[in-house]
Amino acid sequence: MKSRDIIYMIYNEIEQSVTSSGIEFREFINCLPVEPKHILLLASGYLGGDYHPELRLDYVRNEHLNDLYKENVYSYGDFCWVDFDEIGSLDQLEPHEKAELLYLGHYKQPLGNPFFEKLDNRFVYLAHDDGWFNRVFFKDINQSINMLRHLIPHKLTAYRRHVPPLSMDTGEQLMLLARDGILIELSRIIKARNSVEIPFTIIGQNMDFDDVYNNMERHKTKAKAEYWLVHCKNEWVIRMQKCGKE
């Protein structure tokens, strides 16, 4: 079993953030309905960006983003960024805004509001060992639901199954369940001719991802129920029991 076969996710409704293990940067980008316009790198090892001398940070222009997407960002260790709309907005940041950006990249949490009016950023992406510990703040919570809706089908291509995105209702239901920490086990997928079933369990919030991954069975035994994310009859539903084979 590989860590990419497991998704552990916690949704913080108040701060509109998703903390996860098992979702990589490239997957995140591929599952967004609209990609970032430009990216300001707060912490990374990427060498292909432009340098902003006043911020003392690198940024990646829209026309060069594909080069960044091809990078093995896991190798950087820390990989943190915010998107922004206009290159000129970087010159307009006040000292306290620069300080908040540096704090984000160093401590992986916002000092205040993670969204900057001048940058008009929609995301704050904070990762250590990308795909192992990622925290993303979403300005519009519908963006997080849309990302999740497309993530599951994207993951299933590795299992040679091509299915449509989750409906908005199912994606929202799954995201709300993630408030209490959900463990999605793609490694236990059940495939039939006309259905796909993926088990997941509500195991509670646990920021020690090593503990979650190494002691999954122990955490699962404490759960009150096992859920199944089911694609059947051309639709996605969430059930507490497996659907019948067709």
In a domain, 38, yes or no: yes
Write the CB contacts of 215 (distance below 8 Å, at least 6 apart in sequence): none
End-to-end CA distance of the chain, in Å?
A: 28
Q: Is 172 domain-assigned? A: yes
pLDDT of residue 178: 97
Question: In the predicted model, is pLDDT for residue 241 greater than 80?
Answer: no
Which range (60-64, 122-126, 205-209, 237-241) has the least confidence?
Answer: 237-241
State residue 246's pLDDT score: 41
Residue 45 shares a structural domain with residue 93: yes
pLDDT digits (tens, 9 = 90+) for 59-93: 999 999 999 999 999 999 999 999 999 999 999 99
Would the CA dihedral through 164, 168, 173, 174 be positive or negative?
positive
In a domain, 3, yes or no: no
* Residue 95 domain-assigned (yes or no): yes
Report the pLDDT value the prediction gives residue 134, as an integer from 0 to 100. Answer: 97
Model-level pTM? 0.93
Residues 121 and 34 in one domain: yes
For the stretch 97-137, pLDDT in tens is: 999 999 999 999 999 999 999 999 999 999 999 999 999 99
Mean pLDDT score of the chain? 93
Contact 46, 76 (CB under 8 A): yes
Q: What is the pLDDT of residue 3?
A: 54
Last residue of a domain, one of 105, 130, 155: 130
Q: Hunting for tokens 């236990």 — which residue is that?
A: 188
d(CA 182, CA 10): 7
> Hey, what amino acid is at 64?
H
Regarding whether 114 and 32 lie in a shared domain, the answer is yes
Residues of the domain holding 208? 143-239
Q: What mean pLDDT comes out for the span 214-236? A: 92
Q: What's the confidence (pLDDT) of residue 219?
A: 94
Contacts of 187 (CB under 8 A, 6+ apart): 1, 2, 5, 6
- Same-domain check for residues 126 and 148: no
Looking at the domain assignment, is residue 163 inside a domain? yes
Residue at which a domain ends, from 130, 159, 184: 130
Residues 121 and 46 in one domain: yes
Are 154 and 77 in a shared domain?
no
Pair of tokens at residue 176: 């709300």
Instruction: Give me the number of domains the chain comprises.
Output: 2
Residues 35 and 98 in one domain: yes
- What tens digit of pLDDT does each residue of 140-172 get? 999 999 999 999 999 998 888 889 999 999 999
Q: Is residue 218 part of a domain?
A: yes
For residues 117 and 193, state if they share a domain: no
Assigned domain for 16 exists: no
Q: Is there a domain that residue 212 lies in?
A: yes
Write down which residue in 130, 159, 188 finishes a domain. Answer: 130
Rounded Cα gap, residues 187 and 5, in angstroms = 5
* One-letter identity of residue 149: R
102 and 32 in a common domain: yes
Among all chains, which residue has been given the structure tokens 């432009």? 50
